[in-house]
Amino acid sequence: EVSLDDPETAFCTLANREELNPEEDSIHHCLYQFTRNETLTETNKLLCDVCTQRHCGPKNNIKSEKKYVYTNAKKQMLVSLAPPILTLHLKRFQHAGFNLQKVNRHIKFPEVIDLAPFCTAKCKNVAEGNTKVLYSLYGIVEHSGTMRSGHYTAYVKMRAMNNHLSDLVLRGQSQALETEPVKGQWFHISDTHVQPVSVSKVLSSQAYLLFYERLL
């Protein structure tokens, strides 16, 4: 999709990301790195249709002459539509020579996360004037073992039905919701074994998938 937005505002976010100063090995740092501004130069230059047409003339001459024009550009991936359910998938593998190696280090994640610093300034389904897009953690998938074998378990929060979230899913409404974590009891689920656990136990898990529900 080609955007014709003002270049001065094209890379603006809903909240100031420069004030984050995210801690290393945290989900905020992961999101910050994933949405960072990149400069495309040299072999990564962007094929510019406008520059090519200006250089070659009408479109019907471009393929025959093959004089494509590449230009330096800036690239940034931001959230343009805040989802009712936010799913974060952590890359828990890295290349070690010709082999894949599992990444076991702990990544810190909060009960409530603000997605606003990673959303475009014109983010859809966010009320005008809002500078926060809050989500509450309700589920985690954890993997134990190696790249060759292992076991998946889950942490799930048993909570009351979120009527505001239902309205957001069904009707796309974005009125002010709660700003605190949804209250409930956490459970650890491993096959047929289910047992209640504390929040501290949940937050110390080796998360592989994180599931958040929209609060605000």
Alpha helices in 14-162, H assignment, sequence order: 27-34, 49-56, 62-65
> How many Cα atoms are found within 13 Å in the side-chain-facing hemisphere of 145?
9
Name the burial class of residue 180, with classes exposed (0-12), middle (13-18) and buried (19+) by CB atoms within 10 angstroms of its CB.
exposed
DSSP 147: S
Kindly report the length of the chain.
216
What pTM does this model have? Answer: 0.82
Residue spans per domain, the chain: 79-214
Tens digit of each residue's pLDDT (9 = 90 or more) over 97-116: 788 888 888 999 999 999 99
Higher pLDDT, 175 or 179: 179
Look at residue 35 in the predicted model and tell me its pLDDT.
93
pLDDT digits (tens, 9 = 90+) for 53-112: 777 766 555 455 557 888 888 888 999 999 999 999 998 888 777 888 888 889 999 999
Domain range 79-214, CATH class: alpha beta
